[in-house]
Amino acid sequence: MTLIIDSSFLVALYDVGEVRHQRAYDFAEHNFEAMLVPDIVLPEVNFLLRRNLGYANSLNFFDFFESRFV
Protein backbone atom coordinates (compact mmCIF):
# COMPACT_ATOMS: atom_id res chain seq x y z
CA MET A 1 0.00 0.00 0.00
CA THR A 2 1.17 3.55 -0.71
CA LEU A 3 0.44 6.30 1.79
CA ILE A 4 -0.29 9.80 0.56
CA ILE A 5 1.39 12.31 2.85
CA ASP A 6 -0.05 15.77 3.46
CA SER A 7 1.39 19.02 4.74
CA SER A 8 0.21 18.62 8.34
CA PHE A 9 2.18 15.37 8.69
CA LEU A 10 5.35 16.89 7.26
CA VAL A 11 5.11 20.01 9.42
CA ALA A 12 4.52 17.90 12.53
CA LEU A 13 7.42 15.63 11.61
CA TYR A 14 9.84 18.53 11.14
CA ASP A 15 8.71 20.97 13.86
CA VAL A 16 9.67 19.60 17.29
CA GLY A 17 7.42 22.23 18.89
CA GLU A 18 4.36 20.94 17.06
CA VAL A 19 1.83 19.19 19.33
CA ARG A 20 1.74 16.12 17.06
CA HIS A 21 5.50 15.94 16.47
CA GLN A 22 6.18 12.80 18.53
CA ARG A 23 3.26 10.98 16.99
CA ALA A 24 4.38 11.85 13.46
CA TYR A 25 7.98 10.91 14.27
CA ASP A 26 6.98 7.54 15.73
CA PHE A 27 4.83 6.79 12.71
CA ALA A 28 7.63 7.70 10.29
CA GLU A 29 10.15 5.57 12.20
CA HIS A 30 7.95 2.47 12.31
CA ASN A 31 6.20 2.68 8.96
CA PHE A 32 7.64 0.66 6.11
CA GLU A 33 4.98 1.44 3.52
CA ALA A 34 5.81 3.58 0.51
CA MET A 35 5.03 7.26 1.09
CA LEU A 36 3.95 9.56 -1.71
CA VAL A 37 4.17 13.32 -1.25
CA PRO A 38 2.21 15.16 -3.96
CA ASP A 39 4.22 18.04 -5.38
CA ILE A 40 1.52 20.55 -4.43
CA VAL A 41 2.15 19.78 -0.74
CA LEU A 42 5.72 21.12 -0.70
CA PRO A 43 4.89 24.82 -1.31
CA GLU A 44 2.28 24.65 1.45
CA VAL A 45 4.79 23.13 3.87
CA ASN A 46 7.30 25.83 2.92
CA PHE A 47 4.71 28.54 3.61
CA LEU A 48 3.71 27.07 6.98
CA LEU A 49 7.30 26.63 8.14
CA ARG A 50 8.29 30.15 7.03
CA ARG A 51 5.32 31.56 8.90
CA ASN A 52 5.83 29.48 12.05
CA LEU A 53 9.60 28.94 12.25
CA GLY A 54 11.22 31.50 9.96
CA TYR A 55 12.94 31.52 6.60
CA ALA A 56 16.07 29.55 7.58
CA ASN A 57 14.04 26.65 8.96
CA SER A 58 11.88 26.51 5.87
CA LEU A 59 15.06 26.10 3.80
CA ASN A 60 16.46 23.48 6.17
CA PHE A 61 13.27 21.50 5.78
CA PHE A 62 14.15 20.59 2.21
CA ASP A 63 17.46 19.04 3.31
CA PHE A 64 15.55 17.14 5.99
CA PHE A 65 12.91 16.09 3.48
CA GLU A 66 15.48 14.88 0.95
CA SER A 67 17.30 12.80 3.57
CA ARG A 68 14.07 11.08 4.62
CA PHE A 69 11.87 10.81 1.57
CA VAL A 70 13.89 10.98 -1.64
Distances, alpha carbon 38 to alpha carbons 4, 5, 46, 55, 65, in Å: 7, 7, 14, 22, 13
pLDDT tens-place values along the chain, 70 residues long: 899 999 999 999 999 999 999 999 999 899 888 889 999 999 999 999 999 999 998 889 888 888 876 6
What pTM was estimated for this model as a whole? 0.86
DSSP 8-state code for residue 4 = E
